[in-house]
Structure 1
Amino acid sequence: MGTAQTPSEDRRRRVHETVMAFVAGGDGDTAKLRALMTDDVRLHDFMGMGAALVGSDAVLEEFFGPLAEAIPDARFEVADVLVSDGGAVVRGEFSGTFTREYYGLPPTGRRVRWTAHDIYRTRGGRICEIWLGNDTLQVARELGAVPRDVQPWTAAETAAETAAETAAETAAETAAETDGGGETAGSAGR
């Protein structure tokens, strides 16, 4: 005879089942994914830009749809799951082949992979909030948006140096035009 689950254990089991079905991508079935989310689900900080997608249609059409098209063999291998009565944290590795354009990025045809730490909150047995904790720099590198060997702080230094050089050149050109005896824009009549 088995041991009866407490209400809290039962809720955690249901949360685990819901989140794992969602992470599995509803087995490729959009209707299954939609059924796992509340109508007002909120995907926070979409694309790392602070914006949120609100509603199951928006999450499916603006996140899952384009991702599934760009990386049709996408897989998420779960490494760890921490479950509470109201949600779960999932750590795992996303992988697949980048074969079609994704938000303006041309496909590379390469296998891509990155680690994710995602947080899911549930309500009434369905997912109501999602925070995707991807390493944005690693994702950008894997998709070919940022060279693999460029460090962000190096890129920032290079951009600052370029801006300083451009400002110095512009100042020198302006000074040469003014010293050359000609009038500069806005100096007429002074």
Structure 2
Amino acid sequence: MTFVQLIDCRTSRFDEMNQLMDRWVEQTKGKRTATHDVIGKDRSDASHFIEIVEFPSYEEAMRNSNLPETDRIFQEMVALCDGMPTFTDLDVVRDEQLYAAGARRFFEALGGPEVPSFDGLLIEDYHDHDPANEQDVIGLDAVRREVEMWKSGFDFDFTIDDQLTQGDRVCTRWTWRGTHTGDFMGIPATGKRVSMTGTTIHRCAPGGKLAEGWWQYDRLGLMAQLGVLDDLEQ
């Protein structure tokens, strides 16, 4: 179970404390078990700071605390604080990456039986970058036309293999599987079951809707499965 520790402190020497944390990161390289560290400053009290440190589990947090470097840095941190810091230990009982959830809903909608409206998923002037297209796809109407082109050629769905989030970006690694049921880019239906892998990076707008997307996928491999490359080689 993911474990989070909140460190609540007051200091008028934050620049020094920041440098101290940089030293801890350097000195514990390859040994620390913390996976994420965030420091926030109270907007109503410039001397009030809360550090949020995330670990894979409570046991890993204890391993981290027992590092001699951690103990040394902690003693120096206390000396920079206006009073003794307080600690709150939390077992994480819910962890919902909201931007990632929005991207998952987008891929689920793409794999549905009909062309989705995308009204609750994409902003009105959504901007799609696909190297297979001569021009970027911009706006909901253009996105629907693009999806309609794919759906006219394939009965398909997506499997989410991996997702990573950073700030307002969500990176999704996916596998696409489809049956070639109709004309696609001038290629008549073959009935073949095909697949390809790809990665999409989405930029999310405040509120959670997707605002921009960058696609990379194995379109050449798809064409090979459809037999197009065999025709070119003959």
TM-score w.r.t. length of structure 1 = 0.65
SS in 1 for 2:142: helix
Contact kept? 1:108, 1:144, Cα under 8 Å: no
Pair 1:84-2:166 in alignment:
yes
Contact kept? 1:26, 1:33, Cα under 8 Å: no
Letter in 2 for 1:98: H
Letter in 1 for 2:228: A
Matched with 2:136 is: 52
SS in 2 for 1:108: coil
Q: Deviations over 1:43-81 (max 9, x none)?
A: 1135x14420110110111x2112122112x11111110
Matched with 2:77 is: none
Distance in structure 2 (CA, Å) of the matches to 1:78 and 1:59 = 20
Contact kept? 1:119, 1:130, Cα under 8 Å: yes
Pair 1:38-2:123 in alignment:
yes
Pair 1:130-2:213 in alignment:
yes
Distance in structure 2 (CA, Å) of the matches to 1:51 and 1:86 = 24
Q: What is the CA-CA distance between 1:30 and the residue it aligns to?
A: 4.4
Task: Could you tell me which runs of 5 or more consecutive residues in structure 2 were left unpaired when the two chains were aligned.
Answer: 5-37, 41-93
TM-score w.r.t. length of structure 2 = 0.54
Moved over 6 A (4+): none
Contact kept? 2:115, 2:148, Cα under 8 Å: no
Distance in structure 2 (CA, Å) of the matches to 1:129 and 1:33 = 13
Matched with 2:188 is: 106
Contact kept? 2:126, 2:140, Cα under 8 Å: yes
Give the number of the structure whose residues are more often helix, by fraction.
Answer: 1
Q: What is the CA-CA distance between 1:146 and the residue it aligns to?
A: 1.8
Distance in structure 1 (CA, Å) of the matches to 2:167 and 2:115 = 26
* Percent identity for Structure 1 against Structure 2: 23
